Structure 1
């Protein structure tokens, strides 16, 4: 059960990183970068969420014990 959750976190994290990259390179993020000097909040939150979920999934897979 734990391994399935870890795999789901890993896949979800990778998906969030993909969409975060797309949002980072979007027109709205470029406009935000012109006025504030940083990308849009949506892009930042997607990338941070993707990193956290991916790391949690990798950690869960690495620490899961194989069934005997």
Structure 2
């Protein structure tokens, strides 16, 4: 059961990180970064949340 949960967490983490990167790389985000220098919080939350899910998933698979 732990291995299945680990694999699911890895898949969800990769999808979440990709979603965060897509938001970070979007045209509106680039405009926002050009004028204010800040990236959207959703982008950071997606990328960091995805990385955390991947790390937890890897530890569950081992």
Q: Do they fold alike, i.e. is TM over 0.5?
A: yes
Q: Which has the higher helix share?
A: 2
Structure 1: 5+ residue stretches without partners: 63-68
What is the Cα-based RMSD across aligned positions, in Å? 1.1
Shift of 1:13: 0.3
Structure number with the bigger relative contact order (C-alpha 8 A, sep ≥ 6) is: 2
TM-score by length of 2: 0.89
Structure 1 moving runs of 4+ over 3 Å = none
Q: How does 1:1-68 map to 2 (within 5 A)?
A: 1-62=1-62
Alpha-carbon distance in structure 1 between the residues aligned to 2:28 and 2:49: 20
Structure 2 runs not aligned, ≥5 long: none
Q: How many residues align?
A: 62
Q: Which has the larger radius of gyration?
A: 1
